[in-house]
């Protein structure tokens, strides 16, 4: 430990001891930014640059033509684009709220409450992590069809309510809440709901923020519900509509429309991550320490 004498592991300002870390991480960070930069540049490229050979990474003469063509195609649709936006936001908010409420309550019960089926229930959640969405499409369709909720908002929401990854993450976070803190609350007369709402929830905000991002990414780009569970055009979501426009404009001009649609669908993911990134980093650091 003599090499660390007089230095701190996490100095507030730049320290010469950090130089090797910057040399390693900075090129990696720049490399990981390339897809993000490309999505933005590609959406603003004029037709001549979209089909330029050799292709260019950065846009040279940014234009709004791709977005104008996208809006022009949207105006020709029988259903206004505002309807698809409303459907997407309604379904997304409902799924996120359901995921967080169910995951935090179930995580609290599995972590701090003692009951007979606690182990098997958590094992079932762990097993659910192994299944990809394609493997459960047919059972999901049969369930939605048999309970007669096709062409409703519930058809969008129900398949995405279960969030085994979010539950696992939150449960692991709650495991680190000291039992003595809960025992003290019980002595003071607090019931289970009060412990959950006033002690557990404030202590696991980083895990909740990460769960919000995971849920948002899952539901915002989820196409199967519009393809399989809804037949009425007015019940479909924005991601389905954007994919329809991109496929309808599959020619030369359609490449620009596809680029603009990709950027529009990507921006909400970027915004929500920027707002919650601090809590996400805390969650990752917590997981690393464990």
Tens digits of residue pLDDT in 202-237: 888 888 988 898 899 889 988 888 888 888 888 999
Q: What is the pLDDT of residue 2?
A: 43
Residues 215-245: b if buried by 16+ CB within 10 A, e if exposed: bbebbbbbebbbebbbeeeebbbbbbbbbbb
DSSP label at residue 56: P
What's the burial of 265, exposed, middle or buried (CB within 10 Å: 0-12/13-18/19+)?
middle
Q: Each residue of 1-27: pLDDT tens digit? A: 444 444 455 556 666 777 888 888 888
What's the length of the chain? 290
3-state SS class at 80: coil
Q: Return the SS3 of 75.
A: helix
State how far the alpha carbon of 245 is from the alpha carbons of 146, 221, 256, in Å: 32, 15, 11
Q: Does the pTM of the predicted model rise above 0.75? A: yes
CA 195 remoteness from chain centre: 28
């Amino acid at each position: 430990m003599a090499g660390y004498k007089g230095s701190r592991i996490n100095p507030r300002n730049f320290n010469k001891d950090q130089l090797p870390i910057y040399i390693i991480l900075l090129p990696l960070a720049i490399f990981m930014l390339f897809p993000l930069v490309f999505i933005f540049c590609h959406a603003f490229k004029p037709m001549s640059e979209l089909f330029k050979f050799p292709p260019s990474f950065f846009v040279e003469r940014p234009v709004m033509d791709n977005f104008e063509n996208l809006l022009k195609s949207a105006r020709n649709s029988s259903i206004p684009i505002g309807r698809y936006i409303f459907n997407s936001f309604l379904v997304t908010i409902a799924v996120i709220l359901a995921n967080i409420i169910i995951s935090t309550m179930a995580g609290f019960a599995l972590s701090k409450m003692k009951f007979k089926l606690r182990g098997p229930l958590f094992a079932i959640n762990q097993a659910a992590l192994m299944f990809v969405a394609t493997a459960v499409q047919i059972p999901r369709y049969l369930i939605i069809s048999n309970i007669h909720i096709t062409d409703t908002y519930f058809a969008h929401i129900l398949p995405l309510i279960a969030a085994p990854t979010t539950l696992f993450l939150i449960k692991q976070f709650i495991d680190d809440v000291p039992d003595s803190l809960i025992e003290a609350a019980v002595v003071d007369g607090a019931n289970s709901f009060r412990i959950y709402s006033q002690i557990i929830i404030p202590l696991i905000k980083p895990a909740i923020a990460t769960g919000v991002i995971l849920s948002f990414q899952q539901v915002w780009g989820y196409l199967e519900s519009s393809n399989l569970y809804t037949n009425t055009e007015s019940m479909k979501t924005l991601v389905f509509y954007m994919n329809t426009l991109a496929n309808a404009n599959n020619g030369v001009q359609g490449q620009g429309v596809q680029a603009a649609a990709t950027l529009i669908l990507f921006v909400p993911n970027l915004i929500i991550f920027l707002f919650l990134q601090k809590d996400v980093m805390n969650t990752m650091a917590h997981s690393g320490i464990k």
